[in-house]
Amino acid sequence: MQRIINDPFNCVEDMLEGFLKTHSDIVVKTDNPRTIKYKNAPVPGKVGVVTGGGSGHKPAFIGYCGKNMVDAVAVGEIFASPTAKAFLDAMKEADSGNGVACLYGNYAGDNMNVKMATTFAEEEGITVKTVVANDDVASAPKEEKEKRRGVAGEILMWKVGGAKAAKGGNLDEVIAAAQKAIDNTRSVGIGLTSCTIPAVGHSNFKIEPGTMEVGIGHHGEPGISVSALKTADEMAQEMLDIILPDYPFVDGDEVVALVSGLGATPIMELYILYNKVEEILAAKGIKVYRSYVGNYFTSLEMMGATLTLMKVDEELKELVDEEVDTVGMKQFK
């Protein structure tokens, strides 16, 4: 394990300390060491936006905390849900009296802990409504969409929900916008190498050299097929063949496209993949309204990439265009 760490059991604490030191212009700590917040949260008059999840996915989740995006984040161990208490404290830190939108990913631990936190928050007089991201097409068939995991599409959900809140939307309007964003979003990943949780010391899954795993999850959850390693162009085609029919995305549609590396893939290669993605979309009459390419949602040192498409209408375009100032995404108006 060639890693830059101290005690493998203390990585999240060490990382959080460094993160808070580096980004004190955007985020600050709270009384709960596993809850961080936007330095101006709660923002008076604004619906609070909260998320949370396991560590190891940087810049997700804490990297999307900041102006016009997420107000407070619950931080879990590596690849493990934050506690209900961390979610509850995030809700409290984000609430300005206008309610809280908790926008998170569909994983058993997160579902359980958000549910508990919501109950506790309500007892304290905070109104919480939730949207559960389930954009990973490969994680369950369309008929069982409620079983699908949330992956990089969560970023677009936070972007849209955060923008709606920033523009003065009430809680129901923020929830509706975030729900619409994730309903319009589909993702799929391809894994080329595995990754190792420092405290475990060895990988829990394996991808043989010369092969690739299509549909792999953000924690190495099994994909839908293992095949010989293909070219970037073939990967782009295979990913789009999975995503496009699922929504469906059709001729005349406009989309936001997001290609994220899984951690260790050179950034150059993400652009090589995106180059073909946009070419295929253009040939089908699907226009890319805006694209994001980079390490937006990673899985430690996995090699591979995810492709996410969100169909956009005028409302979603306006929200996606909103200025944001976070660690993981900075966007000028």
Exposed (0-12), middle (13-18) or buried (19+): which is 208, by Cβ within 10 Å?
exposed
Q: What DSSP string runs through 249-297?
A: --TT-EEEEEEEE-BSS-HHHHHHHHHHHHHHHHHTT-EEEEEEEESSS
In the bound complex, what is the minimum distance in angstroms from residue 37's beta carbon to its own copies? Answer: 17
**Cβ atoms of 257 and 184 closer than 8 Å:** no
In the bound complex, what is the minimum distance in angstroms from residue 297's beta carbon to its own copies? Answer: 11
Which residues would be at the binding site for its own copies (CB under 8 A)?
A: 2-6, 11, 14-19, 21-22, 55-56, 58-59, 190, 192-193, 195, 207, 209, 212, 229, 231-233, 235, 263-275, 278, 288, 291-293, 295, 298, 300-301, 303-305, 325, 330-332
Residue 72 or 235 having the CB closest to its own copies: 235
Tokens of 196: 């190792």
In the bound complex, what is the minimum distance in angstroms from residue 198's beta carbon to its own copies? Answer: 9
Residue 125 or 209 having the CB closest to its own copies: 209
The secondary structure of the chain in percent helix, strand, coil, rounded to multiples of 5, reads: 35, 25, 40
Asked if residue 222 has a cis previous peptide bond (ω within 30° of 0), the answer is no
In the bound complex, what is the minimum distance in angstroms from residue 275's beta carbon to its own copies? Answer: 3
Residue 146 or 333 having the CB closest to its own copies: 333
Tokens of 224: 């839908």
**Cβ atoms of 1 and 300 closer than 8 Å:** no
Question: Which among 23, 57, 202, 218 is annotated as catalytic?
Answer: 57
Residue 102 or 258 having the CB closest to its own copies: 258
Residue 172 or 321 having the CB closest to its own copies: 321
In the bound complex, what is the minimum distance in angstroms from residue 189's beta carbon to its own copies? Answer: 12
Question: Which among 23, 202, 218, 219 is annotated as catalytic?
Answer: 219
Tokens of 145: 């969409």
Beta-strand pair 72-78/185-191: unpaired
Residue 218 is a catalytic residue:
no
Residue 23 is a catalytic residue:
no
**Catalytic residue list:** 57, 219
